[in-house]
């Protein structure tokens, strides 16, 4: 049975709750579901039901294609003027001796490490410190582009930009325009957390507001940059806060069409001030991916960060709306491991990523940051796989 037939079958089920049947029919007809229906999916949608709807939409948009890229991260500092309660990664300014603060030369040393590697993207994010200001990043973006023009710079979030632009007394638009001229290509999705003030003030009250976060993305879209969006879920928020978060993203996307990918981020509970809050189950992770795929009908891509949720859950997520599992990483990020993720040294070879996708029955595609196809791995056989055909016979003593 294919995804379309499974959805037909589900809709025929006489025991299906009438409200859930209505949503399934709307999905089949390509109609947008409402805020209330989004909440209802969280409250009453079982995993199997949500999987059928989300997989139908995923296969309608992308078939079996599952994307990954070859990337590395630079985290210029883990010292931060802010004090988000869920953050295991950062150190306050008064604890800066326990952290790291790179200069531009140090960041360029990391870029040069990849000189002979076929990576396509550098992802830059970290804490917020006064000396890493507008001229610091302008200098780095320029030098990085001069050194390696083909490397896509996906840099910083509105949390950093809000502080940097305010300090430099420039508008969001002018600041981004300037950095784009220096080499910035696109923006990752971090710092969104949960938009609603009730939650945001409790977990991340001192950094940029939701309105500022959304405005910086809107200005980036106006400059022709593509950006991503995240949502930190599974802590003190209620279901409707998640829907409210996605609703704000859906509205901005209707206006600009500048978002590429939505990335739900699982709250992990180690090493920070919210360690007493239990983590949600893998079932809830999968339900959340599926509802994101259904609710965000104007987002092309839903991504699971394998480094955050484990390789196994990333494989499972491919049946619940996810069509992208991020990149090779090469152990260049500490953000997930310091918060308690299973992957303590996150890095996967291209072969491992390809096999992970193939073993889940999907079609691996290496992409660039903007989803241009670099390599279709459907029929690629790696040298190591070929070697496995040569058996060494047991030796009897
Ligand atoms: S989440 Fe980001 S802004 Fe908040 S404390 Fe950590 S590094 Fe700083």
Tell me, in angstroms, the distance from the centre of ligand 1 to residue 149's CA: 30
- Residue 184, pLDDT > 90, answer yes
Stated as kind and residue range, the H or E segment containing 199 is helix 197-204
Pairing outcome for strands 363-367 and 65-69: parallel
- Residue 339: DSSP 8-state: G
Three-class SS state of 288 = helix
- Residue 336, pLDDT > 60, answer no
* The pLDDT value given to residue 162: 98
The single residue listed with the structure tokens 């638009």 is 173
Tell me, in angstroms, the distance from the centre of ligand 1 to residue 377's CA: 37
- Residue 386, pLDDT > 90, answer no
- Residue 385, pLDDT > 60, answer no
**Mean pLDDT over all residues of the chain?**
92
Q: Is 127 in the pocket of ligand 1 (CB under 6 A)?
A: yes
Q: Is 207 in the pocket of ligand 1 (CB under 6 A)?
A: yes
Q: Is 90 in the pocket of ligand 1 (CB under 6 A)?
A: yes
Instruction: Look at ligand 1, atom 4, and give the residue with the nearest C-alpha.
Output: 84
CB atoms inside a 10 Å sphere around CB 179: 25
* The pLDDT value given to residue 350: 86
For ligand 1, pick from 79, 89, 100, 213 the residue to mutate: most ligand atoms within 8 Å of CB: 89
Gyration radius of the chain over CA positions: 22
Alpha-carbon distance of 85 to 377, in angstroms, equals 41
What DSSP letter does each residue of 43-86 carry, written as one string?
A: HH--HHHHHHHHHHHHHHHHTTEEEEE-EEEE--BSEES---TT
For ligand 1, pick from 80, 100, 334 the residue to mutate: most ligand atoms within 8 Å of CB: 80
Tell me, in angstroms, the distance from the centre of ligand 1 to residue 106's CA: 21
For ligand 1, pick from 204, 267, 334 the residue to mutate: most ligand atoms within 8 Å of CB: 204
Instruction: Look at ligand 1, atom 3, and give the residue with the nearest C-alpha.
Output: 82
CB atoms inside a 10 Å sphere around CB 149: 8
- Residue 67, pLDDT > 60, answer yes
Choose among 57, 37, 6, 4: nearest CA to 321: 57
SS3 content of the chain, % helix, strand, coil (to 5): 45, 15, 40
Q: Is 159 in the pocket of ligand 1 (CB under 6 A)?
A: yes
Q: Is 86 in the pocket of ligand 1 (CB under 6 A)?
A: no
* The pLDDT value given to residue 390: 38
Tell me, in angstroms, the distance from the centre of ligand 1 to residue 184's CA: 21
* The pLDDT value given to residue 94: 87
pLDDT in tens, 98-157: 899 999 999 999 999 999 999 999 999 999 999 999 999 999 999 999 999 999 999 999
Q: Is 213 in the pocket of ligand 1 (CB under 6 A)?
A: no
Tell me, in angstroms, the distance from the centre of ligand 1 to residue 37's CA: 33
Q: Is 356 in the pocket of ligand 1 (CB under 6 A)?
A: no
Atom of ligand 1 nearest to the CA of 126: 7
Of residues 307 and 255, the one with the higher pLDDT is: 255
List b or e across 214-251, with b for residues whose CB sees 16 or more CB atoms inside 10 angstroms: bbbbbbbbeeebbbbbbbbbbbebebbbbbbbbbbbbe
Q: Is 87 in the pocket of ligand 1 (CB under 6 A)?
A: yes
| 373, β-bridge pairs | 367
- Residue 391, pLDDT > 50, answer no
- Residue 392, pLDDT > 90, answer no
Instruction: Look at ligand 1, atom 2, and give the residue with the nearest C-alpha.
Output: 127
Q: Is 84 in the pocket of ligand 1 (CB under 6 A)?
A: yes
* Average pLDDT of the residues in 58-78: 95
């Amino acid at each position: 049975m294919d995804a379309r037939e499974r959805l037909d079958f589900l809709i025929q089920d006489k025991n299906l709750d009438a409200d859930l049947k209505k949503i399934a029919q709307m999905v089949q007809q390509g109609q947008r579901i409402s805020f209330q229906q989004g909440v209802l999916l969280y409250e009453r949608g079982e995993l199997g039901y949500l999987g059928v709807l989300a997989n139908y939409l995923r296969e309608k948009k992308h078939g079996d294609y599952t994307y990954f890229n070859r990337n590395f991260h630079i985290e210029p500092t883990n010292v931060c003027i802010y004090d988000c309660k869920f953050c295991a990664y950062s150190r306050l300014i008064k604890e800066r001796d326990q952290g790291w603060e790179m200069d531009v030369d140090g960041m360029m040393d990391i870029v040069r490490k990849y000189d002979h590697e076929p990576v396509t993207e550098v992802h830059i994010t970290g804490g917020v410190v006064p000396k890493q200001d507008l001229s610091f990043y302008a200098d780095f973006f320029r030098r990085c582009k001069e050194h390696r023009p083909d490397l896509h710079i996906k840099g910083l979030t509105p949390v950093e930009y809000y502080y940097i632009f305010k300090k430099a007394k420039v508008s969001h638009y002018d600041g981004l325009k300037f950095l784009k001229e220096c080499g910035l290509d696109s923006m990752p999705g971090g710092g969104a957390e949960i938009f609603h003030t009730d939650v945001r003030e409790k977990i991340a009250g001192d950094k940029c507001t939701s309105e500022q976060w959304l405005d910086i993305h809107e200005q980036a879209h106006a400059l022709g940059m593509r950006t991503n969006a995240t949502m930190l879920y599974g802590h003190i928020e209620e279901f409707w806060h998640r829907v409210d978060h996605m609703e704000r993203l859906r509205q901005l996307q209707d206006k600009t069409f500048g978002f590429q990918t939505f990335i739900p981020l699982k709250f992990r509970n180690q090493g920070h001030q919210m360690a007493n809050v239990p983590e949600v189950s893998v079932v809830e992770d999968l339900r959340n991916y599926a509802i994101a795929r259904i609710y965000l009908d104007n987002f092309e891509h839903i991504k699971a960060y394998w480094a955050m949720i484990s390789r196994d859950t990333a494989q499972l997520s491919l049946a619940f709306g996810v069509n992208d599992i991020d990149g090779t990483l090469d152990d260049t990020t500490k953000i997930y491991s310091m918060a308690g993720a299973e992957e303590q040294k996150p890095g996967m070879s291209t072969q491992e990523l390809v096999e992970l996708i193939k073993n889940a029955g999907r079609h691996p595609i290496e992409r660039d940051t903007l989803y241009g196809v670099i390599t279709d791995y459907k029929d690629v056989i790696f040298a190591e796989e070929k070697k496995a055909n040569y058996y060494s016979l047991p030796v009897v003593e």
